[in-house]
Amino acid sequence: MAEILIVEDDRNTLSGLTEILREEGHEVDGVDSARKALTILQKRSFDILLTDLKMPEINGMELYQRALPFAPEMKTIVMTAYSSVKDAVEAMKRGVYEYLTKPLDLDELFVILEKAVDEQKLQRENVELKQQVKSTYSFENIVGRSAVMQHVFQTIEKVAKRQSTVFIQGESGTGKELVARAIHYNSLRAGKPLVEISCASFPETLLESELFGYKKGAFTGADSDRKGRIEMAENGTIFLDEIGDISENIQVKLLRFLQERQFSRLGDSETIDVDVRVIAATNRNLEDAIEHGRFREDLYYRLNVIPMILPPLRERKDDIPLLLDHFIKKISLYNKIPMPVLSNEALQICLNYDWPGNVRQIENAVENAMILGDGEVILPEHLPLVTGKRSQKGSHGDFLSVAGPTFKDKVDVAEKLILQEAIKSADGNKSEAAKILKISLRTMRYKIKKYGL
């Protein structure tokens, strides 16, 4: 439940609201002027500021702005008469969380409060997670506690500050692009461009002009000079992705560029010098390609100065729980939805699965489960891609096995089930269901909204 400060100059409304919200289980303080509110806010913090907009002396908007510096996380909800909704909308543009019109609709108030509190909780958790993960198991959003990933983090840190060419190898979805970015953004070149090119997505001739640029008239259609991506990366980094797929001709040109940091635009005899750092990546087995004559050995050695191997997920299974947790939080935050909890059964299934699509596949599976599931708990049936089973309604199992982060998460799951059962046995009649549970109809309605029943 939330800590709420109510500011309302009408004494009757103030005492009524204070009482109702206390009854709902919140911790409530009420004052009748913005000045008093400011004094309290300097001494202690609240989750929610519920304030009247129109008040003598200092109005609600001014209060919000003046309180912001010492209560940046507090969510402000303004209350206003229907006639001044325009001001309320204006207030929202300036950062106020929500507005309510008077006379207040209590159900609406409860729903908005709930939403504000959930969002705030998520934001706080995310900040905490970031701090916690940053110090232990993550580097620039790359998550991993396994020994190999810890080694990857150390290597990133060591190579970032140097100029050496880095060659990243790993199956699809193992995080090669993420690592390339981490290296660039932790290097001295961070303020300069990182230019990425996926070599496999261009046909040969186009790839050549994309990389090296061309001079006007170099070929039909070349009606002006154009810089290539290598030139665009001047003083920065070029990330040559999927380099295992390039033709012999381009291999030769790249070799020259890597040896001399020089090249010419297509159709131009002039030589251009560039200061560019090179990071390359592939998901192919290049040694195999070399053996079959598809990839030049000399180019391979020029690229493979600092090799980095990203192992497939099935070889570092201790990263799986951390990645699941990371994506649940990331996707909740991105979609602004409350975090579901991961059941132990679902976790076990994920741990036993081989993840041929690696981290990308885990991210997709979590997103699927969160969008298609019931929003509360991720169960095996929400992971059809992993289990190979079609989703079906099953029981929620026992509550202890629900691997929710907190006691409250488990209680919420239980509460929702109890409500569902009561509504079912009352044949959908809400007041009947409320009677069964011996709660007021208003509470029933509020909880129905809360759990989206």
Ligand X SMILES: Nc1ncnc2c1ncn2[C@@H]1O[C@H](COP(=O)(O)OP(=O)(O)OP(=O)(O)O)[C@@H](O)[C@H]1O
The minimum distance between CB 20 and ligand X, in angstroms, equals 44
Output the CA–CA distances (angstroms, integers) from residue 294 to 105, 202, 246, 299, 308, in the order listed.
Answer: 71, 18, 9, 11, 22
The minimum distance between CB 142 and ligand X, in angstroms, equals 4
The minimum distance between CB 173 and Mg ion, in angstroms, equals 8
Residue nearest to Mg ion (CB): 177
Evaluate whether 175 touches 359 at the Cβ level (below 8 Å).
Answer: yes
Q: Output 76 or 169, the one with its CB closest to ligand X.
A: 169
The minimum distance between CB 157 and Mg ion, in angstroms, equals 21
Q: Is 284 in the site for Mg ion (CB under 5 A)?
A: no
Beta bridge partners of 50: 6, 77
Q: Which residues bind ligand X (CB under 6 A)?
A: 141-144, 170, 172-178, 283, 326, 359-360, 363
Which residue from 29, 177, 234, 432 is in contact with Mg ion, where contact means CB under 5 A? 177
The minimum distance between CB 191 and ligand X, in angstroms, equals 22
Residue nearest to ligand X (CB): 175
Whether residue 312 has a cis bond before it, omega within 30° of 0: no
Residue 304 binding result from Mg ion, ligand X, none, given CB thresholds of 5 to 8 Å by partner type: none
Q: Output 342 or 362, the one with its CB closest to Mg ion.
A: 362
Q: Output 7 or 179, the one with its CB closest to ligand X.
A: 179
Q: Output 46 or 327, the one with its CB closest to ligand X.
A: 327
The minimum distance between CB 427 and ligand X, in angstroms, equals 46
Residue 237 binding result from ligand X, Mg ion, none, given CB thresholds of 5 to 8 Å by partner type: none
Q: Output 60 or 173, the one with its CB closest to ligand X.
A: 173
Residue 173 binding result from Mg ion, ligand X, none, given CB thresholds of 5 to 8 Å by partner type: ligand X
d(CA 230, CA 214) in angstroms, rounded, equals: 12
Phi-psi region of 293 (alpha: psi -120 to 50; beta: other; left: phi over 0): left
Residue 45 binding result from Mg ion, ligand X, none, given CB thresholds of 5 to 8 Å by partner type: none
d(CA 150, CA 344) in angstroms, rounded, equals: 26
β-bridge pairing 341-343 and 402-403 = antiparallel
Output the CA–CA distances (angstroms, integers) from residue 421 to 78, 434, 449, in the order listed.
Answer: 36, 11, 16
Q: Output 181 or 447, the one with its CB closest to Mg ion.
A: 181
Stretches 7-15, 65-73, 174-182, 350-358: which one binds Mg ion (CB under 5 A)? 174-182
Q: Among the residues of 217-275, which ranges form H helices?
A: 229-232, 248-260
Number of CB atoms found within 10 A of residue 152's CB: 24
d(CA 45, CA 42) in angstroms, rounded, equals: 8
DSSP class of residue 266 equals B
d(CA 80, CA 51) in angstroms, rounded, equals: 9
Residue 142 binding result from Mg ion, ligand X, none, given CB thresholds of 5 to 8 Å by partner type: ligand X
Total chain residues near Mg ion (CB under 5 A): 1
Evaluate whether 274 touches 230 at the Cβ level (below 8 Å).
Answer: yes
Residue 435 binding result from ligand X, Mg ion, none, given CB thresholds of 5 to 8 Å by partner type: none
Q: Output 189 or 326, the one with its CB closest to ligand X.
A: 326
Residue 368 binding result from ligand X, Mg ion, none, given CB thresholds of 5 to 8 Å by partner type: none
The minimum distance between CB 377 and ligand X, in angstroms, equals 23
Neighbour-count burial for 304-334, b at 16+ CB within 10 Å, e otherwise:
ebbebebbbbeebeebbebbbbbbbbbbbbe
The minimum distance between CB 409 and ligand X, in angstroms, equals 23
d(CA 15, CA 303) in angstroms, rounded, equals: 73
DSSP class of residue 369 equals H
Q: Output 109 or 143, the one with its CB closest to Mg ion.
A: 143
Q: Output 125 or 177, the one with its CB closest to Mg ion.
A: 177
The minimum distance between CB 254 and ligand X, in angstroms, equals 19
Residue 143 binding result from ligand X, Mg ion, none, given CB thresholds of 5 to 8 Å by partner type: ligand X
- Read off φ and ψ for residue 222, nearest 5 degrees: -85, 80
d(CA 52, CA 153) in angstroms, rounded, equals: 51
The minimum distance between CB 100 and ligand X, in angstroms, equals 39
List residues near Mg ion by CB under 5 A.
Answer: 177
